[in-house]
Amino acid sequence: MESLNPATGDVIDTFDEDDESAVDEKLQRATDTYDEWHRQPIEERQRLISNAADVLRENKREYAETMTAEMGKPIESAVSEVEKCAWVCDYYAEHAAEFLQDEHIGTEPDVESYVSYEPLGPVLAVMPWNFPFWQVFRFAAPNLTAGNVGLLKHASNVPGCAMAIQEVFEEAGYPDGAFTTLLVGSDKMEDVIADDRLAAVTLTGSEPAGRAVAETAGSHLKKTVLELGGSDPFVVLPDADIEDAAKTGARARCINSGQSCIAAKRFVVHDDVYDEFMDEFAAEMESLTVGDPMDEDTDIGPQAREDLMNDLHEQVEESVDAGATVELGGEPLDRDGPYYPPTVLTEIPEDSPAAREELFGPVASVFRVSDVEEAIRRANDTTYGLGASVWTQDKRRAKEVAREIEAGMVFVNELVKSDPRLPFGGVKDSGYGRELSEHGIHEFVNEKTTWVSDVSHSEGGVE
């Protein structure tokens, strides 16, 4: 398994893939570790996740450079990603005991009845390359602290990140087997998911990958959480602060070099402010610096792989051939590495890729609408339902529009973002289940009902 620098094409390192016996050994070690780990007091599990936060902060530059070298993320963004990972560890170190305490429910006078939240066992996380630390830690922090153990199958182009994350937990003092990286290809996942020792699976990735994982897990009656693709609308209404919307919109489209499921991808702009927004938005997009991801001044680095950039450009070309207009960008940059410039498309035909597919790169699709109802229809005219951003200074209208949008998250006058304090996830083809917050830590636990009576009751009952 090779680790390649997308900016230079150089081989960073090579890793031996785990063979069948190595995978079996890691699964067994995780199972054995779980037997002891889930009996540890919650205070000990909280102490260790707090230690992990310390390890992340102490080594944040090193981890950031590993990310940037392997997948091209601008270094400033990579440092912020490590800091956010430390934040999610801090969050569960502080709140996990509260979230997992027994919930007492009043039933009969002589009965103590309650719900306890108990771990399930080894949980497999299949994770993508675009936020190679954050997407792992938003799984690991709540689930390890809940008493589960984690197995990571990371994307094959970021093995260095995968090993570094395992080292974070080792340095934090976790027992061997509490968090384990499997260096394997996707073709091995069906057997791993089917293994009786595995309790559950979570995946962040593409819709086809999600369907495959859900099908295998479902056939073995294993719980899954899926966070899949997105084609998030960014709705600009007539009374929006256009300057703020345009500036934030450019950042929302191009964060992580445009490679984010929750990036703003379809800009739905009311006719009354369309021209003004377009002028400012195009200027903001054009002002972004494309360059060496290790340079602190770079806003957009290379796409993570050459084939990914080629796929993106093919979508742009097909959209233009169908009738879309290129307002900015639209061609790979003439330099070494898979660099794609900030691109803006308008006059987009209904059935073109820019309207129907997720464009995973710095390409914005802009649509003009005549009223709020059309804006809502356009926002919902997608198979995806991850996030949405709405821009208006009318709070009442904002709440009304937010309720009508089919998405797992709606942010008003802000870009869509993940936050440890809030549940994260989507609907429709963007998946199901939630990560983060109290909701996230409850996904992979047994919500066990317990009834303790002072006296015996001989009466029968029905389900």
Catalytic residues: 227, 261
1 CB-contact burial (10 Å; exposed 0-12 / middle 13-18 / buried 19+) = middle
Q: How far apart are CA 303 and CA 71, in angstroms?
A: 8
311 CB-contact burial (10 Å; exposed 0-12 / middle 13-18 / buried 19+) = middle
- Give the position of tokens 């992979």: 444
Cβ partners under 8 Å of residue 284, min gap 6: 246, 247, 249, 250
Q: Which helix (H) or strand (E) holds 250?
A: helix 242-254
Q: What is the DSSP letter of 118?
A: E
Residue 68, both tokens:
């940037």
Find out whether 120 and 462 touch, Cβ atoms under 8 Å.
no
Find out whether 419 and 425 touch, Cβ atoms under 8 Å.
no
> Radius of gyration over alpha carbons of the chain, in Å?
23
Cα 262–Cα 268–Cα 271 angle in degrees, nearest 5: 160
Bridge partners of 400, per DSSP, are none
Q: How far apart are CA 182 and CA 163, in angstroms?
A: 9
Find out whether 383 and 358 touch, Cβ atoms under 8 Å.
no
Q: Looking at beta carbons, which pairs linking 131-134 to residues 24 or more positions away fall under 8 Å?
A: 131/81, 131/256, 131/260, 132/67, 132/70, 132/71, 132/158, 132/161, 132/162, 133/63, 133/67, 133/81, 133/82, 133/85, 133/161, 133/165, 134/81, 134/84, 134/85, 134/88, 134/418
Taking alpha carbons only, the member of 279, 227, 276, 286 closest to residue 253 is 286
Q: How far apart are CA 459 and CA 463, in angstroms?
A: 13
Q: Where are the alpha helices (DSSP H) in 40-118?
A: 42-58, 60-71, 75-100
Find out whether 388 and 235 touch, Cβ atoms under 8 Å.
yes
Find out whether 111 and 444 touch, Cβ atoms under 8 Å.
no
Q: Tell me, what amino acid is at 280?
A: E
User: From start to end of 120-209, where are the E strands?
Assistant: 122-126, 149-153, 179-181, 200-204
